[in-house]
Amino acid sequence: MSEAWDPILLAVWRHRFAAVAEEMLQALWRAAFSTNIKERRDHSAAVFTGRGEMVAHAAAIPVHLGSQPLSVQAALARFGASWAPGDAVLLNDPYEGGTHLPDLTLVTPVFEPGAAPGSEPAWIVATRAHHADVGGMSPGSLPLARELVQEGLCIPPVLLVRRGEVQDDLVRLIAANSRTPQERQGDLRAQLAANALGVERLLALTRARGEQARRYAAHLQDYAERMMRRFLAALPAGSYRFLDALESDGIGGGELPIQCQVTIAPRGEATIDFTGTAPASAGPLNANRAVTVAAVAYAFRIVCGAAVGSGEDDPPLNAGMLRPLALKIPPGSLLDPPRGHAVAGGNVETSQRIVDVVLGALAQACPELIPAASQGTMNNLTIGGVHPGRAGERFAYYETLGGGAGGGPRGPGAHAIQVHMTNTRNTPIEALEQELPLRVRRLAVRRGSGGRGLHPGGDGIVRELEVLVPATATLLTERRRRAPWGLGGGAPGAPGRNYLVRAGRAPAVPEPLPDKVSLELAPGDVLGMQTPGGGGWGSAPGAQDAGPLSSPR
């Protein structure tokens, strides 16, 4: 924009908008029913212009935030010409702006007083929450499925609230398709409350400084664009390619390669081309366009932030930051599957590998900014069964486990941490054992699992979980064979390991489990997981050189 702007006011408005999103996030967390939101905080919130362009977000889950704009655009496409004050749109359809089915997104337009139905809203607010069960063929709704309908209830953009009236029949329909209906109703109500708070806060800002608020929303987007263009213009022009792969499709198929070529143009633009990526998978590892956009946005934002350094803020993740980036995703590929393909693992596992290949390509353009590979998986675990002594009430537990972060040019990788596309907390042992028929037998840092190097990779986690009732468990994990790669002579991190110790079996020898598996557990069975360590960065005595740009098996 050519209009003058005040840098102090820009900073003020950046934090004002972010504060609205953060307050929504906190409201959802405090009102939620499920352990997954109350303890793990697997939810996000963001503020958009009335045209659906992201302005600000709360510090939450990268895979949520980068993909939320497509959910808002889907809501606008369906209801933007007719929605009115008091409306709110719910969706989770991965082929209409969603990610995977457990992530329910609520989109609410913010109208100024007296606005006519069908007019453009002043703002839009959105929350996304991972609901621990939305049906499907296994508890937790992350099954090893072959098609979308096996993964749970699919919701296209629908009006959950119509002119202030909650559509209770729709709430009951969603709850009836879940193994934990009370949780679904409670978490949906929490999202409604969070969005209502966002509407209230934005209307207060608009009443006080409406025109200035709109101008500085646009200035913030332009500022993010300038930061990204300046970063890209400083890189050596050229094309940089990297190849990595997912280990399996979860239903018996082999590796799924993901190839990325990043082309840097001298004028401060980049094209990210995924030609050469595997076709759509028969299993649940497909990632839709929303997930791919989120992973690319995250990777470029963190590298741009590393280039800026401590003298300025990181670039805001908003619509402006994405303007210099052009994505080329082959239709029908793993990253743009035909409608109906299963996608449960695309959001949680394929997103991590997209980050790996984008960072691997950028490491050739700016090696001084890029760390070695982090653990490269979310180590997804779902367990479900029937609560003892609760009149047949069922439970569905979901968690992701941290691992090692990659060592980088500026220091070693962190131990036992969530990396890249997820930012959730772990479920505290006390909360888990109080609310669920499970017992944590071991939780420790997996010492020595980080790759060696001048700056070693972080260590992973060891956790063993005993089930106290008959249960069904599903593991959806990666980096069990293809180790997280090192950079600049650093060694790869240790791959992960899944195992099971059956109750009453002597000796108690761990039974190896594959990277992706669904199995029935008996009381006393112990499910174990050792998560991967991060790759090492830089040569060090005794470190095995994995090659600066290789992805070792």
pLDDT tens, residue by residue, 462-519: 999 999 999 999 999 999 999 999 999 999 999 999 999 999 887 888 999 999 999 9
39 in Cβ contact with 59 (< 8 Å): no
The CA-to-CA distance between both ends of the chain, in Å, stands at 49
pLDDT at 542: 55
What percentage of the chain carries pLDDT values higher than 70? 96
438 in Cβ contact with 383 (< 8 Å): yes
Closest CA to 212 of 49, 10, 1: 10
pLDDT at 337: 96
Helix, strand, coil share (%) of the chain residues, nearest 5: 30, 25, 45
Domain positions in the chain are 7-224, 371-553
Residue 61 and residue 348: Cα distance in Å, rounded?
11
Residue 216 sits at φ, ψ, to 5 deg, of -80, -20
pLDDT by residue for the chain (553 residues), tens only, comes to 446 888 899 999 999 999 999 999 999 999 999 988 888 888 899 999 999 999 998 877 777 777 888 999 999 999 988 999 999 999 999 999 899 999 999 999 999 988 887 789 999 999 999 999 999 999 999 999 999 999 999 999 999 999 999 999 999 999 999 999 999 999 999 999 999 999 999 999 989 888 899 999 999 999 999 999 999 999 999 999 999 999 999 999 999 999 999 999 988 999 999 999 999 999 999 999 999 999 999 999 999 988 886 445 678 888 899 999 999 999 999 999 999 999 999 999 999 999 999 999 999 999 999 999 999 999 999 999 999 878 889 999 999 999 999 999 999 999 999 999 888 888 899 989 998 999 999 999 999 999 999 999 999 999 999 999 999 999 999 999 999 999 999 999 999 999 999 998 878 889 999 999 999 999 999 999 999 999 999 997 654 444 434 343 3
Q: Encode 196-224 in three state secondary structure.
A: HHHHHHHHHHHHHHHHHHHHHHHHHHHHH
The residue type of 66 is: G
340 in Cβ contact with 285 (< 8 Å): no
490 in Cβ contact with 539 (< 8 Å): yes
Q: Identify the three-state secondary structure at position 393.
A: coil
The model carries a pTM of 0.94
pLDDT at 36: 87
Tens-place pLDDT, residues 246-273: 999 999 999 999 999 999 998 899 999 9
Residue 476 sits at φ, ψ, to 5 deg, of -130, 95
- The dihedral sign for the CA sequence 114, 116, 121, 122: negative
Q: How many CA atoms lie within 13 A of 508 on its CB side?
A: 10
